[in-house]
Each structure stands twice: as C-alpha cells, then as structure tokens.
Structure 1
Amino acid sequence: MGIPASQRLRKQSDFQQVRRSEHRIHCGPFVVQCQPGGEASASRPMLGVIASRRVGNAVKRNRGKRLVREIFRRSAGTLPPGSRYVVVLRSGFDRYSFAELEAHFARACAKIVRRTEAGEASK
C-alpha cells in the first residue's frame, strides 16, 4: 500500500529545508523533524525517511523505512496540512513493536503541533 509519491520528500534540498527547522523531537527509535505548513497550504503532509548505515544492513534499513511510511500513512489524517516531516531512524528501532513505534510517532507529532501553536500564539 504505502504512501503515494506526491507525499514523499524526494529532493535533497527538501530534506535540508526540513532539517534546518527548529522543530525536532528525539524519541527512542527515531528523531522526528518537522516544518509546519502555512495556513493557506491545503496540500497533504509530506514525509522523508533517513536510515544511515549505522541502522544496520540494507534489509534492516528498508524494513525500518517501510514501517515509518506505514505509520505516517495511518496518521496522515491527523497531521496538519502542508507540513513536512523527516524521520531519522536510530539503530535500536527494531527492538520496538509496531504499536510502540506508532505511539512514539503520535506523541512526537502531538508535541510538534503544540509547539507550533504556542509559537503562533506568542506572535
């Protein structure tokens, strides 16, 4: 199933733009970085996944990316429109069950949404 190509970050410049944003949450199995979408943005949230060789061999890295994309697909309806996410996998992600990974991602996204709302309220 997966997520469509229109919802994936593909270009290196897109990844760098999101990684430069100040919204970063360190979870156990991964790091979630977010660039909030503008108010006028009606597009769907986008995702990019980074899995370095430190995570493991190619099989393990690809499995991790598939898991993160599936978690993103399931939670895309609750994410703010136009936002962009980069998930950086850590080496111990495979010690967590799918439900735990999903819970970590949901908590990270909720924290990011709260931070962006608090930042907008203070302006």
Structure 2
Amino acid sequence: MEKIYRLAKREDFNKVYRYGKSMANHQFVLYYLPQPKLEHFRLGVSVSKKVGNAVVRNRLRRMMKEIIRLKKENMTLHYDYILLARKPVVEMDYAEMEKSIWHVIRKASLLKRNDVIKK
C-alpha cells in the first residue's frame, strides 16, 4: 500500500479508537473516523499476538493490506480506517478473507455508492 494510504502513527490510531465508530463480524473489526481534510483514505492494520506468532501475524497483515489495495477505489474517501483481525482469520484462505473484509466494510456502509464487489 502506498505511503499516502497508510495510518501509521500511534496518535492517529488512538484518535480513531477513541472518537471513531466500529463495525464487526466474526473475523474482523473495522474502526473508522471521518477526516474531511484528507483527499483520500488511510488504513491501519492490526493483528494481536493472540492470533498467532510473528510469521502468522505478518502474513495476515500483508493479505489484509493487499485485499484493500486491489480494490481501493471502492473505499469511501475522507476516512481513517483500522482493520483488526480476530482469531478465526487464521484458518481462512485468501478468498474467504476477502469476502469477510468487504462484508464488514459494506456492513458499515463505507463502500462508494453504486459499487458492487464481485463475490
């Protein structure tokens, strides 16, 4: 994911956690906070140590970022997002993970209008 789309600073994460809203399904939690001054969106990804060892966590992070990167034009602009992985994600393959991520984003009504995600 390009640098302009990254949410990296701890203070930015804390702001989204504290003032943002959240939406969840069994595999993911999505925190989101409007940022009207931004011309794009920023994404932060978090995987807890409870999910697995470093190899597993890094693999999941890479997959989550890639899923968003490939269809970033479907994301609503002017938002900061944090995507948290829960334990059941470990047993999922890429296609299931993709479907679950877009489900939680759609559930939060954060897809651009008139966009249809292919299943």
Range class of TM-score, shorter chain: 0.7 to 0.9
Report how far residue 27 of structure 1 moved: 1.7
Query: 1:102 maps to what in 2?
Result: 98
Query: 1:64 maps to what in 2?
Result: 60
Matched residue type, 1:29: Q
Matches within 5 A, 1:67-82: 67-82=63-78
* Native 8 Å contact 1:25 1:31 kept in 2: yes
SS in 1 for 2:73: helix
SS in 2 for 1:20: helix
Query: 2:41 maps to what in 1?
Result: 45
Normalised to the residue count of structure 2, the TM-score between the two structures is 0.82
Q: Distance in 1 between matches of 2:4 and 2:103?
A: 25
Matches within 5 A, 1:1-123: 3-38=1-36, 41=37, 43-113=39-109
Report how far residue 59 of structure 1 moved: 0.1
* Native 8 Å contact 1:9 1:46 kept in 2: yes
Q: CA offsets per residue over residues 43-75 of structure 1, 9 Å max, x none?
A: 221110111211110000000100110111122
Normalised to the residue count of structure 1, the TM-score between the two structures is 0.80
Identify, as 1 or 2, the structure richer in helix.
Answer: 1
Which ranges in structure 1 are unaligned for 5 or more consecutive residues? 115-123
What count of residue pairs does the alignment treat as equivalent? 110
Q: CA offsets per residue over residues 72-116 of structure 1, 9 Å max, x none?
A: 1122101111211101111221211211211111121122226xx
Which ranges in structure 2 are unaligned for 5 or more consecutive residues? 111-119
SS in 2 for 1:55: coil
Report how far residue 24 of structure 1 moved: 1.0
